[in-house]
């Protein structure tokens, strides 16, 4: 026994809490028309999650809530609870007892509880389907719906049979998978749309990044090239600076020396110029002039005196000649020697004398000496001796005078000589000094020339220095530019080792051009920097993420499709297998009811139904009807093929009401036997049966109750006899009352049918 009890409160005609307990395999609910029996069957469907208010005979949710009488006010909510025994774990929950409860409020909202815990409808349905129970299932056959399965469309019928076979759980799973698949596909569409949305931007960023990377490569190339260029340039500048410094050192030093020499020479020359003109020479010359004038006077006096002396001597000679006849006058050797010495002395003087006047004087002296000698030895007459003696005395006097003058003259001459010599010496000295000066001037001139030469040389070197400085300034600014453009750390400058060859300027120029060309290229590329890279990274990550999402979603869709296919296959297999089993039971029960005949369920494939006949019918249908018709046509359905024994007519439409009831009961029971549900509620399924068939029906119930708990709402006496417990329902002033009754009471209650 699985269904233990039903508790109603506020549901339809049951305003008060009412409980029906089920303790026997067959329980019958009996009572007069309108007492509320069917409300109990509906209460069970309600609590099992029925969503169709219409199928519960209402229009709105509040139609299910007790509406009130003048004695009892209307209820705010309807609640129904069913309790199952779960010791055999027919439900997939770990409780020995499972109680389901549904409460409906007047605003049509429902609450669902399992063992007093609030649940979603979905959870309730899943829990029920695991126990092969459902609100709209075949195991609650409502009043007048016994032949519903016969009237149902092929598709509905298939649903009923699937339900009976317990395939609903797979349908739920399939439905859930389909929903998941729909959601997955929806997500996939969204993600694909998002991906599509960012793709153009990503493509744009990719191009930008490509540009940036190209610029980076160019910058690398530029850095390398700049490194070599700068190294070469710096090495060249260093070398040139050293070279120039060395070159400048010598002329600068030389210039310094020359300048020193020049200033020293200039000082010397200035001094020489500032020295007074040779005053000494002038003085000597003046003295000489005075002396010469004096010499001239003295000479003239001497000449006159000589003339006088000559005259005297002539006179003496004349006088002497008159007295001197003796040719043998003896002449002392001393006198001769004296004469000789005088002449030698005068000769020496004449040798040294250049002045013609002085030479004349010397000649006169020689003549005088000779005359004196001869006068002495040739004048000796006594007559004349007096005259001669007088003359001689005069002569002597004159000669003494002459000697004095001569002495004076000699003194003058000596002084003149001395002055002359001094004059010459001074003149020579001055000359020497002039020569020296001229030499200094020549040297100064040469030095100045040399200085000019050096200055021009230094100027040339200075120009070179300036050029070098300009080069250095350019080098520094180039270096700065390069470092700004490619980054300081990226330029490696390895200087050319000392002594190693530095590349030619032309090569450097070419390199510089190459650098400029790269710079232009980088400028042309332009583009953003780190922000673009960051954005690209971000968008790329997003794109990758979306790609992964798409892959995951596709995989998930694939696996869901696989699962759906698997479930479909399982449903199909179980369905076919179940139909085969139902057919066996259906045939047995049909034969039992009708004493033979044929009853079979045929599975109809959609293609099989597309006949010409149907196509003709389709032309007559409205759009809506056509759609419904097509849905049915397209579904795989179940066709019931029956043939009564000994009757030629075939098909459901040819059956009488009782025959239809029996056929549907046979089918319901066959379905129940193949996959017995935990309980079966049959609401006046037996209403159309005659006594004979009621008996057969009763037999089948008995048999069936071995497999399934039965709750029968009935007016049928035969049926009542099989019930272990009978509940009687009475309605007093629109309110249903529940009571446990005995068989006789039950009969009475139902009016003894
Ligand atoms: P029968 O034997 O004729 O089939 P029954 O015993 O099955 O009758 P139900 O169909 O179960 O009777 O009960 C119908 C009764 O329930 C009606 O009298 C109806 O007025 C009453 N009823 C239905 N809904 C409500 C409601 N919301 N509030 C009060 N009474 C209601």
Instruction: Establish if 307 belongs to a structural domain.
Output: no
Q: Is the pLDDT of residue 610 over 60?
A: no
Instruction: Establish if 694 belongs to a structural domain.
Output: yes
Q: How far is the CA of 718 from the centre of ligand 1 (A)?
A: 24
Instruction: Establish if 408 belongs to a structural domain.
Output: no
In angstroms, the Cα distances linking 204 to 265, 392, 737 are 85, 156, 79
Q: Outline where 324-381 has alpha helix (H).
A: 333-352, 356-378
CA distance 227 to 478: 11
For the ranges 183-187, 395-399, 426-430, the lowest mean pLDDT is seen at: 395-399
Q: Is the pLDDT of residue 81 over 80?
A: yes
Give me the DSSP letters along 239-282: HHHHHHHHHHHHHHHHHHHHHHHHHHHHHHHHHHHHSPP-HHHH
Provide the whole-model pTM. 0.57
> pLDDT value at position 100?
95
For the ranges 242-251, 400-409, 442-451, 467-476, the lowest mean pLDDT is seen at: 400-409
The pair phi, psi for residue 271, each rounded to 5°, is: -60, -45
- Partners of residue 5 on adjacent β-strands: 21, 83
> pLDDT value at position 753?
44
pLDDT digits 0-9 by tens, 399-422: 777 778 778 878 887 888 888 888
> pLDDT value at position 390?
74
- Which of ligand 1's atoms lies nearest the C-alpha of 713? 7
- Tokens 């330029």 appear where? 491
> pLDDT value at position 157?
86
Under DSSP, is residue 445 helix (H, G, I), strand (E, B) or coil? helix
- Which of ligand 1's atoms lies nearest the C-alpha of 63? 27
CA distance 586 to 590: 6
pLDDT digits 0-9 by tens, 480-529: 888 887 776 777 878 888 878 888 989 989 998 998 898 888 888 876 66
Instruction: Establish if 115 belongs to a structural domain.
Output: yes
- Residue 530 vs residue 246, higher pLDDT: 246
pLDDT digits 0-9 by tens, 303-361: 777 777 776 776 776 666 665 555 566 777 887 888 888 888 888 888 887 777 778 88
CA distance 128 to 633: 31
Q: Outline where 120-167 has alpha helix (H).
A: 121-130, 148-151, 154-164
Among protein residues, the one with the nearest Cα to ligand 1's atom 14 is: 34
Q: How far is the CA of 35 from the centre of ligand 1 (A)?
A: 6
In angstroms, the Cα distances linking 615 to 153, 533, 608, 610, 636 are 18, 65, 13, 7, 18
Instruction: Establish if 276 belongs to a structural domain.
Output: no
> pLDDT value at position 433?
82
Token pair in block for residue 660: 């239809």
> pLDDT value at position 273?
62
> pLDDT value at position 550?
93
Q: How far is the CA of 744 from the centre of ligand 1 (A)?
A: 24
Number of domains observed in the structure of the chain: 2
CATH of the domain at 729: 3.40.50.300
- Tokens 């399992």 appear where? 114
Among protein residues, the one with the nearest Cα to ligand 1's atom 11 is: 36
Q: If you average pLDDT over residues 452-474, what whole number do you get?
A: 89
Instruction: Establish if 407 belongs to a structural domain.
Output: no
Domain that holds residue 359: 326-377
Residues with CB under 6 A from ligand 1: 12-13, 31, 33-39, 63, 65-67, 143, 734
Write the CB contacts of 140 (distance below 8 Å, at least 6 apart in sequence): 41, 44, 45, 48, 680, 681, 683
Write the CB contacts of 62 (distance below 8 Å, at least 6 apart in sequence): 106, 108
CA distance 255 to 452: 9
**Is 734:75 a contact under the CB 8 Å cutoff?**
no
Average pLDDT, the chain: 84
- Residue 491 vs residue 208, higher pLDDT: 208
Q: How far is the CA of 733 from the centre of ligand 1 (A)?
A: 12
Smallest CA-to-CA distance from 710 within 44, 39, 14, 10 is with 44
pLDDT range class, residue 387, cuts 50, 70, 90: low
In angstroms, the Cα distances linking 737 to 68, 730, 732 are 15, 5, 7
Q: At what angle do helices 382-486 and 356-378 cross, to 10 degrees?
A: 160
For the ranges 136-150, 505-519, 530-544, the lowest mean pLDDT is seen at: 136-150
Task: Choose which residue among 6, 34, 682, 749 to substitute to test ligand 1 binding: the one with the highest number of ligand atoms within 8 A of its C-beta.
Answer: 34
> pLDDT value at position 275?
55
The most confident of 7-21, 149-163, 384-398, 476-490, by mean pLDDT: 7-21
Among protein residues, the one with the nearest Cα to ligand 1's atom 4 is: 33
Task: Choose which residue among 28, 38, 75 to substitute to test ligand 1 binding: the one with the highest number of ligand atoms within 8 A of its C-beta.
Answer: 38
Q: How far is the CA of 747 from the centre of ligand 1 (A)?
A: 20
Four-residue CA torsion sign, 132, 137, 138, 142: positive
Q: What percent of the chain has pLDDT over 90?
A: 30
Q: If you average pLDDT over residues 642-646, what whole number do you get?
A: 87
CA distance 612 to 722: 51
Write the CB contacts of 110 (distance below 8 Å, at least 6 apart in sequence): 61, 102, 103, 104, 121
In angstroms, the Cα distances linking 682 to 29, 348, 678 are 10, 199, 13
Instruction: Establish if 253 belongs to a structural domain.
Output: no
Q: Is the pLDDT of residue 123 over 80?
A: yes
Q: How far is the CA of 10 from the centre of ligand 1 (A)?
A: 13
Instruction: Establish if 419 belongs to a structural domain.
Output: no
Q: How far is the CA of 714 from the centre of ligand 1 (A)?
A: 15
């Amino acid at each position: 026994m699985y269904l233990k009890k039903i508790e109603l409160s506020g549901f339809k005609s049951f305003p008060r809490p009412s409980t029906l307990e089920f303790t026997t395999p067959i329980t019958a609910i009996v009572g007069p028309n309108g007492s509320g029996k069917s409300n109990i069957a509906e209460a069970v469907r309600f609590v099992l999650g029925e969503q169709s208010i219409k199928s519960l005979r209402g229009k709105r949710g509040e139609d299910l809530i007790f509406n009130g009488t003048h004695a009892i006010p209307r209820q705010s909510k309807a609640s129904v609870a069913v309790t199952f025994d779960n010791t055999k774990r027919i439900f997939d929950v770990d409780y020995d007892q499972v109680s389901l409860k549904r409460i409906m409020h007047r605003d049509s909202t429902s609450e669902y509880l399992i063992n007093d815990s609030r649940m979603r409808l979905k959870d309730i349905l899943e829990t029920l389907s695991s126990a092969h129970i459902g609100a709209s299932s075949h195991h609650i056959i409502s009043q007048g719906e016994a032949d519903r399965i016969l009237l149902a469309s092929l598709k509905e019928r298939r649903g009923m049979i699937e339900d009976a076979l317990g395939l609903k759980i797979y349908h739920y799973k399939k439905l859930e998978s389909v929903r998941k698949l729909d959601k997955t596909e929806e997500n996939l569409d969204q993600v694909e749309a998002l991906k599509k949305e960012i793709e153009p931007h990503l493509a744009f960023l990719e191009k930008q990044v490509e540009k940036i990377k190209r610029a980076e490569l160019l910058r690398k190339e530029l850095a390398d090239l700049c490194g070599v260029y700068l190294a070469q340039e710096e090495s060249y500048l260093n070398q040139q600076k050293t070279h120039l410094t060395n070159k400048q050192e010598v002329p600068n030093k030389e210039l310094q020396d020359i300048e020193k020499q020049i200033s020293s020479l200039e000082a010397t020359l200035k001094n020489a110029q500032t020295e007074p003109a040779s005053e000494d020479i002038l003085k000597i010359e003046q003295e000489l002039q005075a002396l010469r004038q004096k010499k001239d006077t003295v000479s003239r006096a001497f000449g006159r005196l000589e003339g006088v002396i000559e005259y005297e001597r002539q006179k003496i000679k004349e006088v002497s000649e008159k007295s001197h006849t003796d040719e043998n006058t003896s002449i002392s050797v001393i006198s001769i020697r004296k004469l000789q010495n005088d002449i030698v002395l005068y000769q020496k003087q004449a040798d040294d004398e250049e002045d013609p006047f002085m030479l004349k004087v010397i000649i006169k002296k020689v003549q005088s000496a000779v005359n004196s000698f001869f006068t002495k030895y040739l004048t000796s007459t006594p007559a004349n001796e007096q005259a001669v003696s007088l003359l001689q005395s005069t002569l002597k006097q004159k000669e003494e005078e002459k000697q004095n003058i001569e002495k004076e003259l000699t003194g003058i001459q000596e002084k003149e000589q001395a002055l002359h010599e001094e004059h010459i010496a001074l003149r020579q000295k001055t000359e020497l000094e002039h020569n020296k000066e001229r030499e200094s001037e020549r040297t100064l001139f040469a030095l100045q020339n040399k200085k000019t030469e050096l200055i021009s040389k230094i100027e040339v070197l200075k120009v070179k220095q300036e050029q070098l400085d300009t080069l250095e300034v350019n080098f520094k600014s180039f270096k700065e530019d390069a470092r700004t453009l490619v980054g300081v750390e990226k330029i490696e400058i390895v200087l050319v080792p000392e002594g190693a060859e530095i590349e030619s300027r032309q090569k450097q120029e070419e390199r510089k051009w190459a650098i400029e060309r790269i710079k232009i290229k980088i400028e042309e590329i332009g583009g953003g920097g780190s922000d673009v890279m960051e954005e690209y990274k971000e968008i790329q990550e997003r794109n990758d993420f979306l790609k992964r999402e798409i892959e995951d979603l596709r995989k998930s869709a694939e696996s869901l499709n696989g699962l759906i296919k698997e479930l479909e296959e399982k449903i199909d297999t179980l369905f076919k297998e179940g139909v085969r089993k139902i057919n066996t039971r259906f045939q047995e029960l049909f034969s039992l009811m009708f004493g033979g005949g044929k009853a079979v369920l045929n599975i109809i494939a959609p293609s099989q139904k597309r006949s010409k006949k149907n196509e003709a019918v389709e032309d007559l249908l409205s759009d809506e009807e056509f759609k419904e018709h097509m849905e049915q046509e397209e579904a795989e359905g179940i066709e019931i093929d029956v043939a009564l024994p000994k009757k030629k007519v075939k098909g459901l439409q040819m059956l009488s009401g009782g025959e239809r009831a029996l056929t549907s009961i046979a089918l319901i029971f066959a379905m129940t036997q193949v996959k017995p549900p935990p309980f079966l509620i049959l609401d006046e399924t037996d209403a159309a049966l005659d006594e004979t068939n009621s008996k057969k029906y009763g037999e089948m119930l008995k048999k069936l109750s071995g497999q399934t708990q039965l709750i029968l709402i009935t007016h049928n006496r035969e049926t009542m006899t099989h019930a272990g417990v009978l509940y009687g329902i009475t309605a007093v002033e629109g309110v249903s009352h529940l009571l446990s009754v005995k068989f006789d009471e039950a009969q009475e209650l139902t009016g003894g049918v």
